[in-house]
Chains A and B, each alone.
Chain A
Amino acid sequence: MEIKIKGLTKVFPGDIKKGRKDAIAVHDLDVDVKDGELIGLLGPSGCGKSTTLYMIAGLLEPTSGEIWFGDDEVTHLSPEKRGIGLVFQNYALYPHMTVYKNICFPLTNLRVEEPEKDFDAEGYALIVKLVKDYAKIIKVINASNLNGKINEAGAVNALCETYKISKYVAAKLYKFNFVGAADPKALSEEIAKEYQDKLNNEIAKQKNKGKTINDKFVLLTDGKPNVIRRKLTKDEMDALIREAARIVQISDFLDRKPSELSGGQQQRVAIARALVKKPKVLLLDEPLSNLDARLRIQTREEIRRIQQDTGITTIFVTHDQEEAMSICDDIVVMKLGEEQQIDKPQQVYKDPKNLFVAKFLGTPPINVFNGVIKNNAIYVGDNKIITSKKKLPDGEVYVGIRPEGFMVSKDEKAKEGEITLNVNEVLTMGRDLMLVCSNKEFIGEKIKIIIDSDVEAKVGATNLKLRENKVYVFYKKTEERIYF
């Protein structure tokens, strides 16, 4: 499902009595999301990313602008009708329901539109088919034993997995008690006959009503099927729930309550609940912020994997730039309600449009210096950094240099394209060396540089050659990027 956002604006009205002004949370946002993409809304607190997400979800009314899902304009459509899945930051799992019921809840509100079927007949035929291979049933149940003892829950689960049937049918199979039967073959034949009779009865019953059942168990009146809208059957819901549980790998926890799960498990349940109804759009609100560091990395890979497997268009909100960079197809960088840049992660990193974007992405953060343009060249202090190929007006600028953009130079005196820094500390970080430096023009406390650990570096004034593609210059007033 394609998503188009045009001119989206949200203003929270102020309160004259309390002296509060109108708060512009989101201003004139335009985003295009292609079908099947995973895009991230990235920005610091208060930049309007969550507000945007909630407007896409329908939980907040936009002040102006449009939201399109494919060919439908859904700007004012109520959230129930949008067909989306939303994973809340705090998961919002219903505490009084088990995991199974939590995931089941969205399904109870959906309907199926299809030709009317006779489910009883289908069920009987299924049992007849399954009990023929009673040996396998016995094997599966026995294999599911826990410490040598067979329990119903484990057996049912195993049967579900093996045959891909619902837990209700599996329970029936278990209760036939093939394992404890003296003569399983006879039992199997007995049951087969019993259910075949039931099936025949059902067929006869329908015949009396003037209907026939075809091989797909569709009810035909005069040879024609009857399209109806119905609730999902318990079996269907069970199948969908198990499928969702399998995708997020929580199949073992279906009978637990949310309070009995860890944070990471709860989150997976929330994802399952969002996905179970096969939405066209999946929204996630800071899904990883409540997890510890180790789990965060693991889970974000999971989210990426799930998204790729299901192909659902996904939007997720985060303030962690590493997160956004590692899994998104596109990143929307936001600040104070306004879009700063929309690009592929590498592009946002390599080609920031303004100072904010440059500073927001990258760890360690970019080093910013005060600089000037003079005679079409950019200077930081006495160092001439770059000569511009275009004509540039003289003026004050910010010069940003990525930590990895420095190389130790052997030059005694700084040449063009080099900068002189005072190295204060040399820290070994295994693969790299980190140099903590200072410079008169630097804005901030410490300059952090990363260089290869094979290089020799000492404390003291050092000249460093700059990689041109890691140097970014911004107008001081507008903080916009200067290209040259």
Chain B
Amino acid sequence: MESKNNWKAWLYLAPVLILMSIFTFYPLINTFFISFLKNFDYRSGANSGFTFDNYGIVLGITEKVAGIPESKVTEFVQYALPNTFLVTFITVPISIILSLLIAIGINNVKWFKKGLQTIFFMPYVTNIIAVGMVFSVIFGDNGIFNFIFGLSGTKWVTESASWQNSMTILCLYIIWSALPYKILIFSSGLQNIDKQYYDAAKIDGSNKWKTTMKITIPLLSPQILYIMITSFIGAFKEYNAVVGLFNRNYTDSGNVHDLTTVVYYIYQQLEGNNPQMHIAAAGAVILFAIIMVFTFVQMRVSKKRVHY
């Protein structure tokens, strides 16, 4: 029976294995590989040999055109990376705390539970780019937001808006679209907590707040960890929000580099008639490395505090 199952199983898995190999495993290795090639031409596969230069170029250390110091591209380290870190470290904690509070709040109310859950989940099914465009209208120079708060004329997301303003709106939007998934995960986690623990806490004299802090949240810690890791990864890879919110062509001059993120940078390398695959690859590998490091750190730090 065992051996019979063996080849049958592989038969069932054939499609997924073939596709995964072509579109996941191979690309993984290939991208890694490409990042070390010089002057990679993706159409012909030709290259000028092995080099670390691509990483250097991305990190702004190596000159893009040999011999010309000015051709050093600092866009990545100067703008993309800091922006991305900033966005991540602002939006992730805020959205986690907010969503936790909302999920616990929903769990504690008697009426409209289903309705509230539905409302809070809506942003998840919407097109990030489409709604981003709506945000850009709301926060337009003469938009409704400025009108309500009497700030007419303040530039939030238009071309000459300050970096702080635009960054604020970007974070706001990312938090808005990141809440639903977290609220849902926390809500289902909360529903899985045995009601008896709450009863026991009541008998033990604990008020609602203390129970939430000492009982509910620790029991929710597996979900919190999961959300922390996935949010971090998601925020770090943020791209669609930027595209939706800011309809600008970044090859124009001006405050152009202000709001690029790491992924935006990577895709930028692929635009145009001469896509710089090797540089994009280097960027992608760096992205991957950063994510791995932070995930590892998070899992390490949380070992003590997460209870299954």
Contacts and interface: CB of A to CB of B under 8 A. Distances in A.
The reply, when asked whether chain A contacts chain B directly with Cβ atoms under 8 A, is yes
B271 interface: no
B199 interface: yes
Contacts of A80: 202-203, 205-207
Given A57-B203, A92-B197, 17 more contacts: A59-B202, A79-B202, A80-B203, A80-B206, A84-B203, A85-B203, A92-B194, A92-B199, A94-B200, A95-B219, A95-B307, A96-B219, A96-B307, A105-B201, A106-B205, A109-B206, A109-B207
Interface in A76-131: 78-81, 84-86, 88, 90, 92-96, 105-106, 109-110
Residue among B199, B205, B207 with the highest chain A CB neighbour number at 10 A: B205
A182 to B, nearest CB: 38
Given A88-B200, A94-B197, A110 B205 contact: yes
A461 to B, nearest CB: 56
Interface in A387-443: none
Contacts of B221: 96
Interface string B193-230: 01011011111111100100011001101000000000
Contacts of B215: 94
A109 B199 CA distance: 15
A84 to B, nearest CB: 7
7 contacts: A78-B202, A88-B196, A96-B221, A105-B206, A109-B205, A274-B203, A277-B204
Given A92-B196, A92-B197, A94-B215, A109 B202 contact: no
Contacts of B206: 80, 105, 109
Residue among B199, B210, B218 with the highest chain A CB neighbour number at 10 A: B199
Residue among A90, A106, A273 with the highest chain B CB neighbour number at 10 A: A106
A90 B210 CA distance: 23
Nearest to B195: A92
A309 B196 CA distance: 29
Nearest to B219: A96
Interface string A48-71: 000000000111000000000000
A78 B214 CA distance: 20
Nearest to B306: A96
A329 B221 CA distance: 45
Contacts of A59: 199, 202-203
Interface residues of B, number: 19
Nearest to A276: B204
Contacts of A81: 205
Contacts of A85: 203
Residue among A58, A109, A277 with the highest chain B CB neighbour number at 10 A: A109
A90 B196 contact: yes
Contact of A88 (B199, B214, B219): B199
Contacts of A86: 199-200, 203
Contacts of B219: 95-96
Interface in A130-154: none
Contacts of A110: 205
Contacts of A273: 204
Contacts of A78: 202
B210 A92 contact: no
Contacts of A58: 202
Q: Which 9 A-B pairs have the closest CB atoms?
A: A109-B205, A96-B307, A106-B204, A92-B200, A92-B196, A79-B202, A96-B218, A86-B203, A80-B205
A204 B218 CA distance: 44
Interface in B86-133: none
Given A88-B196, A94-B215, A79 B307 contact: no
Residue among A85, A86, A92 with the highest chain B CB neighbour number at 10 A: A92
Contacts of A57: 203
A274 B200 CA distance: 9
A273 B199 CA distance: 14
Nearest to A82: B203
Nearest to B197: A92
B115 to A, nearest CB: 18
A92 B207 CA distance: 17
A110 B204 CA distance: 9
Interface in B179-203: 194, 196-197, 199-203
Interface string A302-329: 0000000000000000000000000000
Residue among B200, B201, B202, B207 with the highest chain A CB neighbour number at 10 A: B200
A106 B197 CA distance: 13
A109 B203 contact: no
B197 A109 contact: no
Nearest to A279: B203
B80 to A, nearest CB: 40
A110 to B, nearest CB: 7
B203 A79 contact: yes
Contacts of B201: 105
Contact of A109 (B194, B200, B210, B307): B210
Contacts of B307: 95-96
Nearest to A106: B204
Contacts of B205: 80-81, 106, 109-110, 277
A106 B202 CA distance: 9
A88 B199 CA distance: 9
Nearest to B215: A94
B108 to A, nearest CB: 15
A105 B197 contact: no
B221 to A, nearest CB: 8
A81 B207 CA distance: 10
Residue among B202, B206, B218, B221 with the highest chain A CB neighbour number at 10 A: B202
A302 B33 CA distance: 70
Contacts of B200: 86, 88, 92-94
A96 B201 CA distance: 14
Nearest to A95: B307
A116 B263 CA distance: 62
Contact of B214 (A79, A84, A105, A274): A105
A10 B210 CA distance: 30
Contacts of B207: 80, 109
